[in-house]
């Protein structure tokens, strides 16, 4: 069973602070996707990383895929209240199987 | 608006009832998924359909019965559910052909409560 562990499970910080959340596995994935889910809604894709060591930036969010393609991190700079939500990582394989393995999630709360 | 619509948004049912959840996608995708999201548990994949054919059943109890009449519609038929089945049920869709590298587009879910 491929397992994606996310840490921390819960994080509550003040607006304006920086934070990093992690997604770790013992398995290799061909891609890693990050989603954000807000209350009452389904997860929404933020980014996909596919190359070991890849770094992608989405405004104040920086995503990195580990060199061995087993882990990933999400760094948020100067957090805003709109960043509040459940952050989910999901690992994918390249061929023959459309399914994703979702992580355990990090519930982020930004305090005004 | 994600392009994936789920109905109803909320459902309360007794253990002996029969009900169905509906999912419709307007994105031209060929793969559709049912997930269960419970508190304190990771998102659990239930079923995968690819071009209307079921390609994954993740050991789901038979009281959950999926149906995919075409690539745009997915149903989850429910009967004699248990209290532990109370959860948010999410539908998703994606393109096919590149395995798990394709992003999935989710509906907003059906919040199911079993009395």
Q: Hey, are the CB atoms on B107 and A42 less than 8 Å from each other?
A: yes
Predicted local confidence at residue B96, as pLDDT:
78
Does the beta carbon of A55 lie under 8 angstroms from any beta carbon of chain B? Answer: no
Peptide bond just before A8 cis, omega within 30 deg:
yes
Peptide bond just before B8 cis, omega within 30 deg:
yes
Contact (Cβ atoms closer than 8 angstroms) between residue B90 and residue B19: no
* Closest residue in chain B to residue A3, using alpha carbons only: B42
> Higher confidence at residue A54 or residue A99?
A54
Place of tokens 């994935």: A29
Predicted local confidence at residue A3, as pLDDT:
82
Rounded (5°) CA angle A90-A94-A95 = 130
* Closest residue in chain A to residue B40, using alpha carbons only: A104
Of the partner residues B2, B4, B100, the one whose CB lies closest to the CB of residue A92: B100
Predicted local confidence at residue B42, as pLDDT:
85
Predicted local confidence at residue A24, as pLDDT:
96
Which of B76, B83, B88, B19 has the alpha carbon at shortest distance from B49? B76
When pLDDT is cut at 50, 70 and 90, the band that residue A94 belongs to is low
Helix, strand or coil for residue B28? coil
Helix, strand or coil for residue B84? helix
Residue spans of beta strands (DSSP E) within chain A: 5-7, 10-14, 19-24, 31-37, 44-49, 55-58, 61-65, 71-76, 85-92, 100-102, 106-111
Handedness of CA B41, A6, A42, B65 (dihedral sign): negative
Print pLDDT tens along chain B (115 aa): 679 999 999 999 998 889 999 999 999 999 999 999 998 788 999 999 988 999 888 899 999 999 999 999 999 999 999 999 999 999 999 987 655 678 899 999 999 999 9
Contact (Cβ atoms closer than 8 angstroms) between residue B93 and residue B104: yes
**Phi-psi category of residue B30: left, alpha or beta, with phi > 0 → left and psi -120 to 50 → alpha:** alpha
Strands A31-37, B105-106: pairing is unpaired
């Amino acid at each position: 069973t491929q397992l994606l562990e996310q840490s921390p499970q819960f994080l509550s910080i003040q607006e304006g602070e920086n934070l990093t959340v992690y997604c770790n596995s013992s398995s290799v994935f061909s891609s890693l996707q990050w989603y954000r889910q807000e209350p009452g809604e389904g997860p929404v894709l933020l980014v996909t990383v596919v190359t070991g060591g890849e770094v992608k930036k989405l405004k104040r969010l920086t995503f990195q895929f580990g060199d061995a393609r087993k882990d990933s991190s999400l760094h948020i700079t100067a957090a805003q209240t709109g960043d509040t939500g459940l952050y989910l990582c999901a690992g994918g394989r390249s061929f023959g199987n459309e399914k994703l393995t979702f992580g355990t999630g990090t519930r982020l709360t930004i305090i005004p | 608006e994600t392009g994936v619509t789920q109905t109803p948004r909320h459902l309360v049912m007794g253990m002996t009832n029969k009900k169905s959840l509906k999912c419709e996608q307007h994105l031209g995708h060929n793969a559709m998924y049912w997930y269960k999201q419970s508190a304190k548990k990771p998102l659990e994949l239930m079923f995968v359909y690819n071009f209307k054919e079921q390609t994954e059943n993740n050991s789901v109890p038979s009281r959950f019965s999926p149906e995919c009449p075409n690539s745009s519609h997915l149903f989850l038929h429910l009967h004699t559910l248990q209290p532990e089945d109370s959860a948010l049920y999410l539908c998703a869709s994606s393109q096919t052909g590149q395995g798990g590298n394709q992003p999935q587009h989710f509906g907003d879910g059906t919040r199911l409560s079993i009395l």
